[in-house]
């Protein structure tokens, strides 16, 4: 079973609520969107999110600094999983042609570009990676280009890049302030913090501190993103698996039914929710009602 799209979730939810009518529809499209995304948020939290990749230019507002601090640029990070240090020598800038598809060509030839390398540049969606190299002049990326132009794309190799050790910020400050350890030419440790800000544009951004503070490095990351609502036009598919997408429609229906006098449907609808989602919701409900913390 494929992951249900927004319209499929909506149809299934309205079917289960026996409200899939166009004449005198009991819910407006805006109300349905809120129900669906409330349910999606519950299922997203239970699913734990998925892993996204971001190249250094996407993740951070600048390249490496001698101080060892750079500001974040992504506002959708929930949890940073891995941070890599890639030297500038591991980046390849190549003149390419995008074709509004997943195929990218280059008369300059792709040289040592390999599967798994991150791709960034004009018209390339964030997190795109090379999925196949058909020839020295043609390759496939994981996300279709949004335009057909001739940008210079940057290919970042993180497959065998060194991952930075994560430490507490206080520990990183210790290493910055003492000289008893050896010296290193490459960044070795890092800490990621969400810095306080009074500027709206700075809210929800991370900051990367690394040691030793050396330049000439880029820091691609993998992370779990924050929750992004779905809709009927822009982001139409929830980032969950097939069963979880079905759970979204069932939980949406369970939210709708009591509002149109069909509360008696709710038990049978919830009985169809997948075991993991049901068990997690039940634990959450019990914790809420008893006031105990989840043990």
Partner 1 sequence: MAIPLRKVRDRVRGRLNDTDARKPTFVVPQLDSAICDAYLALSSMLPAPMLYTASAFTISAGAETFALPTAATTGWTGGDGQAEYAGLVDIQLASTGTYLQHISMQQMHAIRDGSPTVLTAKPERYALYEASDQTVNGYCYPGAKVAEVCNLFRTLAYDDLRDYVGASTDDLDDVEVQFSRLGVAALVQYAASGLLASMVKEDAELRRLDKSVAASWRKEAEELAYREAMRRHNLEDPGQVQRWEA
Q: Which of residues 185-224 bind partner 1 (CB under 8 A)?
A: 185-186, 188-189
**Dihedral of CA 288/259/239/193: which sign?**
negative
- Beta carbon of residue 222, minimum distance to partner 1 (angstroms, whole number): 10
Question: Contact with partner 1 (CB under 8 A): which of 9, 12, 128, 164?
Answer: 164
- Beta carbon of residue 91, minimum distance to partner 1 (angstroms, whole number): 20
For helices 6-16 and 29-47, the axis angle rounded to 10 degrees is: 100
Q: Does 89 bind partner 1 (CB under 8 A)?
A: no
Q: How far apart are CA 247 and CA 218, in angstroms?
A: 40
Residue showing tokens 């910020």: 169
Q: Give 260's contacts (C-beta < 8 A, 6+ positions apart).
A: 17, 19, 26, 27
User: Considering only 19-27, 117-125, 127-135, 161-169, which stretch makes contact with partner 1 by CB under 8 A?
Assistant: 161-169
Question: Contact with partner 1 (CB under 8 A): which of 134, 184, 194, 279?
Answer: 184
Q: Which is nearer to partner 1, 85 or 273 (CB)?
A: 85
Q: Which two tokens stand for residue 13?
A: 């939810």
- Beta carbon of residue 90, minimum distance to partner 1 (angstroms, whole number): 16
- Beta carbon of residue 81, minimum distance to partner 1 (angstroms, whole number): 7
Q: Give 279's contacts (C-beta < 8 A, 6+ positions apart).
A: none
DSSP code per residue over 205-225? --EEEEES--SSEE--EEEEE
User: Is the distance from CB of 53 to CB of 221 less than 8 angstroms?
Assistant: yes
Q: Which is nearer to partner 1, 90 or 104 (CB)?
A: 90
The site for partner 1 (CB under 8 A) is made up of: 81-82, 163-167, 171, 175, 180-186, 188-189
């Amino acid at each position: 079973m494929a992951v249900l799209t927004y319209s499929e979730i909506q149809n299934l939810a309205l079917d289960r609520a026996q409200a899939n009518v166009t004449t005198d529809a009991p819910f407006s499209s805006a109300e349905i969107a809120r129900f669906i995304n409330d349910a999606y948020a519950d299922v997203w939290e239970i699913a734990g999110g998925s892993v996204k990749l971001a190249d250094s230019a996407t993740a951070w507002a600048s390249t490496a600094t001698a101080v060892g601090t750079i500001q974040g640029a992504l506002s959708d990070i929930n949890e940073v999983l891995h941070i890599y240090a890639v030297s500038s020598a591991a980046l390849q800038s190549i003149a390419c042609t995008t074709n509004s598809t997943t195929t990218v060509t280059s008369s300059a030839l792709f040289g040592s570009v390999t599967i798994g390398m991150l791709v960034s540049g004009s018209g390339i969606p964030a997190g795109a990676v090379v999925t196949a190299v058909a020839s020295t002049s043609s390759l496939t990326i994981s996300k279709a280009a949004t335009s057909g132009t001739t940008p210079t794309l940057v290919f970042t190799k993180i497959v065998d890049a060194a991952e930075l050790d994560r430490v507490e910020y206080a520990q990183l400050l210790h290493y910055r302030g003492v000289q008893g350890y050896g010296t290193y030419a490459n960044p070795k440790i890092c800490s990621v913090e969400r810095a306080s800000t009074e500027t709206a544009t700075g809210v929800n951004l991370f900051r990367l501190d690394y040691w030793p503070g050396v330049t000439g490095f880029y820091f691609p990351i993998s992370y779990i993103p924050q929750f992004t609502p779905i809709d009927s036009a822009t982001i139409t598919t929830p980032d969950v698996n097939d069963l979880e997408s079905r759970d979204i429609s069932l939980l949406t229906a369970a939210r709708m039914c009591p509002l149109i006098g069909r509360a008696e449907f709710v038990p049978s609808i919830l009985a169809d929710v997948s075991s993991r989602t049901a068990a997690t919701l039940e634990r959450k409900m019990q914790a809420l009602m008893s006031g105990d913390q989840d043990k």
